[in-house]
Each structure stands twice: as structure tokens, then as C-alpha cells.
């Protein structure tokens, strides 16, 4: 799940460009991560290609992917399994590739804590059911995401093609979402559905979101409840960030109640509900350099608090 706080801004159509081009951007980070037992060095450098063009009649088209980007099955942008391509115009924007689901396209995730994201104890990602290679990655990539924005209204729909002649499971996923912005507040709702195909296990999820942009403060509230055979009972979360001069402070807390499943993956096979949270801060040094750190933990047994502190680079 992509780390976007207010993803609705992504619906603005690309400004017209004079000529088709490939542009480069990059990011980096370096610092120290405490994993609950030890402190380790952690660094990385990445480069992203952004493709952009405009047809004679003003249709925008393009795409984007990172050099290192591969999906969980080793698929690359050259196979439609990482990054994405799009075409956009007055009709909205059609994007194909390793896209997020419709609700995530409109509501994003919570504030990202720490310079490395610190998601081992739960993390800032909202528990969307679909998109972002969450299901049937071997079958259904690329997926399609459609977004449209007019005045205060934003709409999104996403779906996989649901066919895979060579695989035993022929599942499909689809989702719709809508958002309405009134003054500084955006209210949204979405519905996601997975047809499990030959597995016979179908799952649905209703998503509700509220985003408030109050000057230097952003607040996001999210609620989801599972339907059909979903293992999610309820997910409630709240995230916020506050900017003061060069400082930004932020955090999130999520409550998750499972239905017929436990947090065994997190080392607590007896727990069917959990609370996790993270808080952090960053200081902007200008020119693309910032210092960022955070801590994160959950209330499950055998869980240790994790923390990091480092520099983030943007090029």
C-alpha cells in the first residue's frame, strides 16, 4: 500500500507538456534502526523514471516506475507488474499496472512514521482489501484504476480482469469509492470485493474515511468492516500530522478486530484483536534533506518497540 496522506491531490490532471519525455527523480536515506533487539545501519538509494506526453488533441499520457521496482513475484514494469501507465483527459484518468484499489486512491494511508516506515509492528498502512498487488498477483496484474474529479466530488473504480487461463484459481477483485470535499473536510466511502473464484472464498469490505486539512494540521479517520467471508471484523484508525516551521510531527493508532483469524503472524496466536501505533517527527533542512525519526509498537505479546533515526534525501 502506497504511503500517501491525502491521495486526492493525485487526481489533479497532469499539466500539459510540450513534448514526450522521460524524467528522473530519486530518493535516499541513511540512519540507524532499532529492531527491538539491536541497532542496525540502514540505508538505500533509489531512482524513479517518470514518462509524460500529450497528444495533439491534449490527451495526457504517461507512466512511472522505479529502477528497482518488482512485484512480489519478480514481475517488472516491462510486464505491467510494477509501476503503471495512464491516459487522462476530460473523462478522468485511466491507469493500468500495479495500481492501488479505488478507496486507497482516494484516501491513502496514515502518516509514515520514522525514516524507514517502521511497519513491523503493524504500521501506518490502512487495511484495504484490494489493489496494490494484495491478491492474485500472479493472475491479474496489471489491474485498472479509474479516477475522476469534478468540483468537490472525486470518484474511483478499480478492478482486475479476473481471468487466468493457466492458473487453478480464477479470482477477481473490484472496488469503488467516492469522496466529497466541503470546506476543509473530505468525507468518503468505498466498497471492495474479492470473488475468490475456484477457492470459493469471497470477501467484501466497507470503508469509511474522513480527512480534515486544517491549516498546519491534517487529520484522517478511517473505519472498515468486513463482509462475506472476510477475516476482518473491524478496523478503526486515526492519523494526524502537524507542521510548525521546519518541524513536522505525526502519528497514527489502529485498532483491528479479526473474525475467525488470529495475529499468529505477529507472534501472538491467541489474540484476535490488536492495537498498534506509531509516532514520529521530521525536521526539514531544505534542498531535499530532512532528519526524521519515530517509534512504533503494538499491544500483542512478544512484541518489542522499534525505533529509527536518520536522514531522508529527495532528488
For residues 53 and 22, what is the distance between their CA atoms, to the nearest angstrom?
Answer: 9
Name the nearest CA neighbour of 170 among 130, 145, 205, 135. Answer: 135
Instruction: Tell me which of 10, 144, 189, 212 binds its own copies, using CB under 8 A.
Output: 144
Binding segment for its own copies among 49-57, 182-190, 254-262, 270-278 (CB under 8 A)?
A: 49-57
Between 96 and 238, CB nearer to its own copies: 96
Which segments within the chain are labelled E, that is strand? 21-34, 39-54, 60-66, 84-89, 92-97, 143-150, 153-159, 172-182, 185-195, 203-214, 217-228, 232-244, 247-258, 273-286, 289-298, 306-314
- Interface stretch with its own copies, choices 142-150, 175-183, 236-244, 249-257 (CB under 8 A): 142-150
Q: Which one of residues 5, 8, 65, 131 is an interface residue with its own copies (CB under 8 A)? A: 65
Interface mask toward its own copies for 99-128; x: CB under 8 A:
------------------------------
Candidate residues 26, 212, 227, 257; the one interacting with its own copies per rule CB under 8 A = 26
Q: Which residues between 68 and 87 bind its own copies (CB under 8 A)? A: 68, 76-80, 83-87
Exposure string over 285-313, b if 16+ CB within 10 A, otherwise e: eeeeebbbbbbbbbebeebeebbbbbbbb
Residue 171 lies near its own copies (rule: CB under 8 A): no
Taking the C-alpha atoms of residue 206 and residue 228, their distance in angstroms, rounded to an integer, is: 11
Q: Does 42 bind its own copies (CB under 8 A)?
A: yes
Cβ 83 to its own copies shortest distance, Å: 5
Region near its own copies per CB under 8 A, out of 92-100, 120-128, 192-200, 206-214: 92-100
Cβ nearer to its own copies, comparing 164 with 225:
164
Nearest to 156 by CA among 91, 227, 101: 101
Nearer to its own copies, 169 or 225 (CB): 169
Binding status of residue 40 toward its own copies by CB under 8 A: yes
Interface with its own copies, residue 214, by CB under 8 A: no
Integer-rounded Cα Rg, in Å, for the chain is: 20
Closest distance between its own copies and the C-beta of residue 88, in Å? 12
Asked whether position 142 contacts its own copies by CB under 8 A, the answer is yes
User: Could you tell me the smallest distance in angstroms from the CB atom of residue 274 to its own copies?
Assistant: 22
CB of 157 to its own copies, least distance (A): 14
Q: How far is CA 121 from CA 36, 108, 284, in A?
A: 10, 19, 26
Residue partners of 165: CB distance under 8 A and separation at least 6: none
Task: State the alpha helices, DSSP H only, in 113-173.
Answer: 137-140
Question: With binding defined as CB under 8 A, does residue 66 bind its own copies?
Answer: yes
For position 43 contacting its own copies by CB under 8 A, the verdict is: yes
CB 180 to its own copies: min, Å: 29
Q: How far is CA 296 from CA 124, 246, 252, 290, in A?
A: 10, 23, 9, 20
89 binds its own copies (CB under 8 A): no
Task: Supply the minimum distance, in Å, between the C-beta of residue 291 and its own copies.
Answer: 10
95 bridge partner residues = 86, 145
Cβ(310)–Cβ(32) under 8 Å?
Answer: yes
Amino acid at each position: 500500500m502506497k504511503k500517501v496522506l491525502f491521495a486526492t491531490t493525485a487526481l489533479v490532471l497532469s499539466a500539459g507538456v510540450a513534448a514526450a519525455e522521460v524524467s528522473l527523480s530519486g530518493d535516499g536515506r541513511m540512519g540507524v534502526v532499532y529492531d527491538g533487539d539491536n541497532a542496525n545501519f540502514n540505508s538505500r538509494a533509489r531512482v524513479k523514471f517518470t514518462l509524460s506526453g500529450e497528444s495533439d488533441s491534449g490527451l495526457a499520457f504517461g507512466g512511472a516506475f522505479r529502477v528497482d521496482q518488482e512485484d512480489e513475484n519478480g514481475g517488472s514494469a516491462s510486464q505491467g507488474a510494477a509501476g503503471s501507465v495512464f491516459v487522462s483527459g476530460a473523462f478522468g484518468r485511466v491507469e493500468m499496472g500495479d495500481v492501488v484499489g479505488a478507496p486507497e486512491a482516494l484516501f491513502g494511508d496514515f502518516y509514515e512514521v520514522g525514516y524507514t516506515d517502521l511497519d513491523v509492528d503493524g504500521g501506518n498502512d490502512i487495511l484495504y482489501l484490494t489493489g496494490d498487488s494484495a491478491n492474485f498477483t500472479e493472475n491479474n496484474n496489471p489491474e485498472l484504476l479509474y479516477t475522476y474529479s469534478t468540483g468537490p466530488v472525486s470518484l474511483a473504480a478499480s478492478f482486475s480482469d479476473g481471468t487466468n487461463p493457466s492458473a487453478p484459481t480464477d479470482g477477481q477483485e473490484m472496488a469503488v469509492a467516492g469522496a466529497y470535499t466541503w470546506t476543509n473536510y473530505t468525507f468518503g466511502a468505498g466498497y471492495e470485493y474479492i470473488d475468490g473464484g475456484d477457492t470459493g472464498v469471497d470477501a467484501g469490505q466497507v470503508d469509511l474515511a474522513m480527512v480534515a486539512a486544517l491549516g498546519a494540521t491534517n487529520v484522517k479517520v478511517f473505519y472498515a468492516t468486513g463482509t462475506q467471508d472476510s477475516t476482518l471484523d473491524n478496523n478503526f484508525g486515526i492519523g494526524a500530522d502537524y507542521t510548525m516551521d521546519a518541524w513536522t510531527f505525526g502519528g497514527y493508532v489502529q485498532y483491528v478486530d479479526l473474525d475467525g483469524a488470529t495475529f499468529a503472524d505477529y507472534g501472538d496466536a491467541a489474540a484476535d484483536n490488536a492495537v498498534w501505533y506509531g509516532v514520529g517527527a521530521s525536521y526539514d533542512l531544505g534542498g531535499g534533506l530532512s532528519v526524521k525519526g519515530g517509534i512504533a509498537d503494538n499491544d500483542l505479546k512478544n512484541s518489542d518497540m522499534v525505533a529509527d533515526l536518520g536522514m531522508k534525501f529527495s532528488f
